[in-house]
Structure 1
Amino acid sequence: MPSAVISSRGAVSALRFGRAAAMGTLAALILIAGVWASWGTAQHVMLTKGRESGTVRVARCAEDVCTGPYTPVSRGSQPRQKVVIAHTASVREGLTYSVVVKPGSSHVVRSGPAGILYAWVPFGGALLLAAVVVAGGLRRARPAWAMAGTGIALITGAFVTM
C-alpha cells in the first residue's frame, strides 16, 4: 500500500507542475504578443532621435484614416502636402497634432505622452488578459491584481491623454 500513496502524490505533484508550467508559458506568450503588437508603433514614438517630427493639420477623415498637410519641426524634415494618420476617436478634422513620420512612408503617428500611451494600449490589453491567466491558472492573486491594475492604468491613461 505505501507505494500506491507515494505514486499518487508524485502524480499530483507532476500535474501541479505541468499546470504551472503551461499557465506560466501562456501568460508569458500573451505578454510577449502584447509587446510585439505595441512595439510597431511605440518604436517610432519613443525613439525619435533622427526621425522626422512635426505637426499635421487634419483636413479630411475617411473610415480608417485621416489626411492632412505636414509641417516639419525637426531639422532636415521636409513639408508634405498629404500625410496619413490613423483615424481614432481622438483625431478630428480641423485640429492639429504633433506627429512623427514613419521612415520611408507618408504615414505619421502621434507623438508626446498621448502617442506613447496610445502605442502601448495593446500591451495594456495583454496585461489584463494575462492577469486572468495568472489568477486562474497559476492561482496567484496579488501578481494578477498588480498586472490588471497596470493594464487598466495604461489604457485609462491613454484614454485621458488622447
Structure 2
Amino acid sequence: MPSAVVSSQGAVSALRFGRVAAMGTVVLLILVAGVWGSWGSAQHVMLTKGREHGTIEVARCAGDSCTGPYTPVSVGSRERDSVRIENNVAVRKGGTYAVVVKPGTDEVVRSGPAGVLYAWVPLGGALLLASVVAAGGLRSARLSWLLAGTGLALLTGAFVTV
C-alpha cells in the first residue's frame, strides 16, 4: 500500500512540471512575438543583397510617416521624388538618412547599425518581459538575468546609435 508521503511528492512533482511547462511556453511565445514584430523591418535591413540602397532627405512629417526625395547609391536603384519612412524617434525633419527600399514599394527603412538595432527593438522589449516571466514563473534567476541583460543591451544599443 503506497504511503501518503510518496503520493504527495508525486503530486508536487507533477505540479512543478506543469508550472515549468506552462511558464516555459509563455516565455517562448513572448520571444516568438518579439521576433515576429521585429522581422517586418529587420529582414529589409539585414538581408540587403539585391535591394535598393540610398539616402532620404526628410522634407516633411505628418502623422505616422515622413516623406522626402530619395537619392540612390546602389547600382540599379532609381531616383524617386518622394519616398515614405516611418515617423519615429530615429527620423527627424531635415535629416538625411541611409535607407533601404522595401521591394515593390516607395517605403524605406533605416539601414546600417542604427537601422539594424532599431528594427530589433520589439525583440528587446520582449526579452525584458520574458525575463520577468522567467524569474516569477520559472523561478530561474540565471535565465532571467540573461534575458534581461540581452534585452537591455539591445535597447541601449538602439538608443545610442539612433
1:54-133 equivalences under 5 Å are: 54-133=54-133
Residue identity (%):
73
Letter in 2 for 1:158: A
1:121-161 deviation line (CA, Å, top 9, x unaligned)? 00000000000111111111011111101101101111111
- Return the offset for 1:2: 4.8
| Residue 40 of structure 2 corresponds to residue 49 of structure 1 | no
Relative to the length of structure 1, the TM-score reads 0.97
- Return the offset for 1:111: 0.1
1:32 maps to 32
The separation in 2 between residues aligned to 1:120 and 1:92, in whole angstroms, is: 20
The separation in 2 between residues aligned to 1:113 and 1:90, in whole angstroms, is: 12
- Return the offset for 1:5: 1.7
2:22 maps to 22
- Return the offset for 1:90: 2.9
2:134 maps to 134
Count of aligned pairs? 162
1:148 maps to 148
SS of 1:49's partner is coil
Q: Which runs of 4+ in 1 moved over 2 A?
A: none
The separation in 2 between residues aligned to 1:27 and 1:67, in whole angstroms, is: 38
Relative to the length of structure 2, the TM-score reads 0.97
SS of 2:3's partner is helix
The separation in 2 between residues aligned to 1:129 and 1:118, in whole angstroms, is: 18
SS of 1:51's partner is coil
RMSD: 1.0
The separation in 2 between residues aligned to 1:51 and 1:69, in whole angstroms, is: 18
The separation in 2 between residues aligned to 1:23 and 1:97, in whole angstroms, is: 42
1:35-93 deviation line (CA, Å, top 9, x unaligned)? 11101100000000000010000000012100000000111001000100011123111
Letter in 2 for 1:105: T
